[in-house]
Amino acid sequence: MSTHDPSGATMIIGQRIVDGRESDYQRWQRGLSDAAAEFPGFVGADLRPPTAVQPEWVVVYQFDSVSHLQDWLNSRVRSAKLEEGADLFDGPGTAQLVSAGHREPDTLVTVVVSHRVAPESIDDFLAWQKRLDAAERAFPGFCGSELFRPIDGVHDEWTISYRYDSAEHLDAWLTSDRRREMLAEAEQFGDFTLRTIDHSFGNWFSFGYDDRPPPSNFKSSIAVWMGLYPTVVLLTLLTSPLGMPLWLGMLIGNLLSSLSMSYFTMPYYVNRILGWWLKPRRDAPQPTTDWRGFGLVLAVNAFWVLVFYLVTVVIWSLP
Domain segments of the chain as ranges: 9-98, 109-197, 217-315
Tens digits of residue pLDDT in 263-273: 788 888 988 89
pLDDT-derived band at 68, boundaries 50, 70, 90 = confident
Dihedral-angle region of residue 18 (phi above 0 means left; psi in -120 to 50 means alpha; beta otherwise): beta
Burial of residue 124, with CB atoms counted within 10 A of its CB: 0-12 exposed, 13-18 middle, 19 or more buried: middle
Cβ 96 vs Cβ 12: under 8 Å? yes
pLDDT-derived band at 210, boundaries 50, 70, 90 = very low
List, in order, residues 6 or more apart from 119 with CB less than 8 Å away: none
Dihedral-angle region of residue 186 (phi above 0 means left; psi in -120 to 50 means alpha; beta otherwise): alpha
Estimate the crossing angle of helix 288-309 against helix 217-239, to 10 degrees: 10
Cβ 17 vs Cβ 89: under 8 Å? yes
* pLDDT value at residue 101: 44
pLDDT-derived band at 71, boundaries 50, 70, 90 = confident
How far apart are alpha carbons 72 and 107 in whole angstroms? 9
pLDDT higher than 90, residue 49: no
How far apart are alpha carbons 125 and 131 in whole angstroms? 10
Please indicate whether the domains covering 9-98 and 109-197 agree at the CATH topology level.
Answer: yes
Burial of residue 26, with CB atoms counted within 10 A of its CB: 0-12 exposed, 13-18 middle, 19 or more buried: middle
Residue whose C-alpha is closest to residue 279's, from 182, 229, 204, 225 = 204
List, in order, residues 6 or more apart from 227 with CB less than 8 Å away: 261, 265, 266, 269, 270
Cβ 148 vs Cβ 95: under 8 Å? yes
pLDDT-derived band at 23, boundaries 50, 70, 90 = very high
Task: Just give the CATH number of 9-98.
Answer: 3.30.70.100
Which range, of 108-117, 159-168, 262-271, averages the lowest pLDDT? 108-117
Q: What pTM did the predictor assign?
A: 0.43
pLDDT-derived band at 3, boundaries 50, 70, 90 = very low
DSSP 130: H
pLDDT higher than 90, residue 26: yes
How far apart are alpha carbons 73 and 96 in whole angstroms? 12
* pLDDT value at residue 173: 86
Coil/strand/helix, residue 284: coil
Question: What CATH number matches the domain at 109-197, 3.40.50.10680, 3.30.70.990, 3.30.70.100, 1.10.10.10?
Answer: 3.30.70.100
How far apart are alpha carbons 22 and 14 in whole angstroms? 14
List, in order, residues 6 or more apart from 5 with CB less than 8 Å away: 43, 64
Burial of residue 64, with CB atoms counted within 10 A of its CB: 0-12 exposed, 13-18 middle, 19 or more buried: middle
How far apart are alpha carbons 149 and 12 in whole angstroms? 13
